[in-house]
Amino acid sequence: MTARTGKPGISEKFAELKARGEGALVSYVMAGDPSPEATREIVAALARGGTDIIELGLPFSDPVADGPTIQAAGQRALAAGMDTERFFELVEELGSEISGIPFVCMTYYNLVFRYGIEKFVAGSAKAGISGLIIPDLPVEEASELRESCERHGLDLIFLIAPTTTGERVRKVLERSSGFVYLVSRLGVTGTSSEVSGATKELLARVETDIPKAVGFGVSNGNQAAEIRKAGADGVIVGSAFVKIIESGNNVNERLETLARELKNGILEADKSE
């Protein structure tokens, strides 16, 4: 339990789900897209749909790991005035409205570095963030951020791709906490029609007690079930939600429905094991 916010931490959430024999649904949206006010309703809809962990993007002007859908969401959020200070305020507001769901911040290292590493981590912890994902920060260069995260009780989550070598996998696992983010395919974020064999091979290759969550390309309940059956502890979904937000059409109801479909897919896989 995070002392400052009363929220369960990421490890606690995975442990709670594991005790029930459940996989986790990790849902990503861009904070401030299309507005900070709308994000509060969006997150509430995802929570109603059964989301276990919320991943909030802090928009950056050059998001190298994001595909067109999430790049566009970042531009909309920046145009709506989202910045680091407003992000922390929004997270604090969300924490007062939604209990039992850890928040993870996904952003890029330039923002963290320019803001000040210690200041950024302290601000994240104060706001109620449980962990950070910084996709453009190599594990070998993350010691300062990692030490700051340890001081403030935040998890630092690293990515492993199908091309990551055995030696780098070992380094990532040594320095990861919360969960390890397994990238389901090469390239950037976006939806996909099927779960690749590389995803299943990666799940088998990464041997660790740290929960393994798979992202990039997941968009429906069948895919979520397949990934869970392949050995993932969690399924991460982003672009499918962001596309609904971009449409502006019956957004919150559709987000809740998709989250429920994804969570039900995970639960069906749990029953079949």
Q: Which residues does the annotation mark as catalytic?
A: 55, 66
Name the CA radius of gyration of the chain, rounded.
17
- Whole-number Å distance between alpha carbons of 189 and 214: 12
Give the chain's end-to-end CA distance (angstroms, integer).
30
The β-bridge partners of 159 are 181
- Whole-number Å distance between alpha carbons of 22 and 26: 13
Dihedrals phi, psi of 34, to nearest 5 degrees: -85, -5
H/E run at residue 77: helix 68-79
- Whole-number Å distance between alpha carbons of 124 and 243: 27
Q: Which residues of 125-136 are buried (b: 16+ CB within 10 A; e: fewer)?
A: bebbbbbbbbbe
- DSSP structural state of residue 29: E
